Amino acid sequence: MTTIPSNLWSIPLIVAIPLLAAIVVNALYDKRAIRYISIISALLTLGISIISPYGYHWFTGHPAFDPTTFTFTFDPGIPGFRLSLEFFFGPMQQIMIVISSLILVFCVIMATSGLTKHQGPYLAMIFLLFASAAIIIMVNDLYHLWIAVEIGSLIVVGVVVGSGTSISHKAALKYAYFSAICGSGLAIALALLLGITGFPNVSDVVRVINIFGVGGMETILYISFGFFILSWMYAGGLAPLHPLKSEVYGASYPHATAVLQAQSKLMLVAIGIIMLRIFGTLPFVKEVMIFLSIITMMLGVVIALLQIDFRWIIAYLIISHSGLVTLGIALGTKEGIIGGIFQAVNDIIYMSVLLFCCEALYYFGGATSTRGSFGIAKKSPWLCAAVLLGAFAASGIPPFNGFQSEIILIQASINAGFPEIAVIILMVSVTTLIALLRAIYRIFLKPPENEVAANAQIPKSITIGTWLFIILTIIIGVYPDIALRFIVPFVEGGFLP
């Protein structure tokens, strides 16, 4: 037996700190200390995710079995059966958790600045939402996958209800109802895989299928894949379940939507990669994933054009760009997966810019409808400039980050033999720009028809957060290797569990 290495210390902390913060702030309810505890907890989570080394954490203590030497080892480099429930923290997990933690920091500051009642329960939901996303992006076993998706879906309901409107209550009720259906479906899928292979660990499942095959179990694998697809559509808001997720985005506070959309992107990437690893060799699996991605891209951006409220335009654009993320993964090539993960990182960043700008509009009396014109550009030129830059990034215009990931996706589509998909990506980019510019013109640039607050006091946290993420869009747009050096090694197999 080889020497047993220590479990990676940082992985439990990335999950435990948000969980403990949720318990504490919920108990404090409306005390002043909530703000300081929340901010410190978010900063600690961010700091740990930055300095953490790469490695594994095993929860059951079971060593891997090496069938060639009939020995047991914890060494993840041994191509044996893991026999364990494990988390994995690598470069791809690091960059996605770091970006999500940064969003969490500003979300907490904005929430404690803007909300005057029930801060504790609301922030508890925000922390639990982040914890579920962190779990699912690090998970490498079927049990934790199901638990993380279930917890995340339930917490989404609480976050949406926190906005306190009738629209949010309806959206939360719908989402909760379908959560039970999709969660049960995922449990069935995992049970089928466990029954076929006998292992809960994803790496073990993949190894069994690759070495021993599935015999006459192809039908059961397809049934499992079908339930996986249902959960993928539900968790990420893919078509035809996109109305559920778009209502969740549109009915929540914009700062909460920033965390919600980050969670959705992490779920799309994690579940998509797991599906590729387990079902990728089956016929028609990638084709189904590509079809759903294209439909989501097109439906989301078309419906965004029909919206009359800036919040709902952003909500449907988030849906549309989720299709870009899943498209890259669905292509199944190294270039495509790199583009899909890179698109997820970029999308989280530039959508946060737009959502922070939308949050600032609340201080102008909630002027987010495009039916009226408010002339906010004269009252807040910096906000107008920020939302324009965010729109350019979301539309894939250089030198912003959206351009870099979309170029990779276009090249990957052409190299995979799908030039028509490359054209669709370009059409989505153009339509995104049209939808956003129309709203920006009506709200910011057109001479005002309705009176709004002349000197709105926008919290500094919104200003700092907005421009920080704009700077990130430019830095990654000019130097994409800053992000790609975390993604490429993972995809090329050096860090894939």
**pLDDT tens per residue across span 134-188:** 999 999 999 889 999 988 888 999 999 988 888 898 999 889 888 878 888 899 9
Whole-number pLDDT of residue 119: 87
Determine, yes or no, domain membership for 470.
yes
Q: How far is CA 101 from CA 93, 94, 259, 342, 349, in A?
A: 12, 10, 9, 17, 12
Is 99 domain-assigned? Answer: no
Separation of alpha carbons 330 and 323, rounded Å: 10
The helix or strand, by DSSP H or E, that contains position 121, with its residue range, turns out to be helix 119-138
Is 56 within the bounds of a domain? no
Q: How many CB atoms lie within 10 A of CB 178?
A: 14
Q: The tokens of 315 are what? A: 């909500």
Cis peptide before 399 (omega within 30 of 0): yes
Residue 457 in any domain: the answer is yes
Is residue 236 situated within a structural domain?
no
Per-residue CA distances from 118 to 25, 123, 151, 258, 319 (Å) = 10, 9, 21, 20, 30
Provide the domain limits for residue 493.
Answer: 284-497
Q: 0.85 exceeded by the pTM?
A: yes
380 is a domain residue: yes
Residue type, 317: L
Query: Do 239 and 299 meet the contact criterion of CB atoms below 8 Å apart?
Result: yes
Map tokens 């078309």 to a residue: 302
Token digits for 104?
């969490």
- In the chain, the number of structural domains is 1
Identify whether 37 is part of a domain.
no
Who contacts 260 (Cβ-Cβ below 8 Å, separation ≥6)? 129, 156, 159, 248, 249, 252
Burial of 491 per CB tally in 10 Å (0-12, 13-18, 19+): buried
Strands (E), 249-363: none
Please name every residue paired with 366 in a beta bridge, in sequence order, or none if there are none. none
Angle at 149 between CA 143 and CA 154, to 5 degrees: 125
- How far apart CA 336 and CA 329 sit, in angstroms, is 6
CA distances from 306 to 48, 310, 313, 318, 495 (A): 43, 11, 8, 15, 43
DSSP-derived secondary structure letter, 81: B
The answer to whether 190 touches 143, Cβ cutoff 8 Å, is yes
At 440 the pLDDT is 92
DSSP-based three-state secondary structure for 165:
coil
Q: What is the pLDDT along the chain (497 residues), one digit of tens a residue?
A: 333 455 788 999 999 999 999 999 999 988 889 999 999 999 999 999 999 999 888 876 666 666 666 666 666 666 667 667 889 999 999 999 999 999 999 999 999 887 767 788 999 999 999 999 999 999 999 988 999 998 888 899 999 998 888 889 899 988 988 887 888 889 999 999 998 888 888 988 988 888 877 777 888 999 999 999 999 998 888 988 888 999 999 999 999 999 999 999 999 999 999 999 999 888 999 999 999 999 999 999 999 999 999 999 999 999 999 999 999 999 999 999 999 999 999 999 999 999 999 999 888 877 788 877 778 888 889 999 999 999 999 999 999 999 999 999 999 999 999 999 999 999 999 999 999 999 999 888 888 776 655 567 888 999 999 999 999 999 999 999 999 999 999 998 766 66
Its sign, for the CA torsion 342, 343, 346, 348, is negative
Whether 458 is in a domain gets the answer yes
Closest CA to 128 of 102, 108, 151, 105: 151
Contact between 359 and 253 under an 8 Å Cβ cutoff? The reply is yes
Sign of the torsion formed by the C-alpha atoms of 330, 331, 337 and 342: negative
d(Cα 63, Cα 247) in Å, to the nearest integer?
Answer: 45
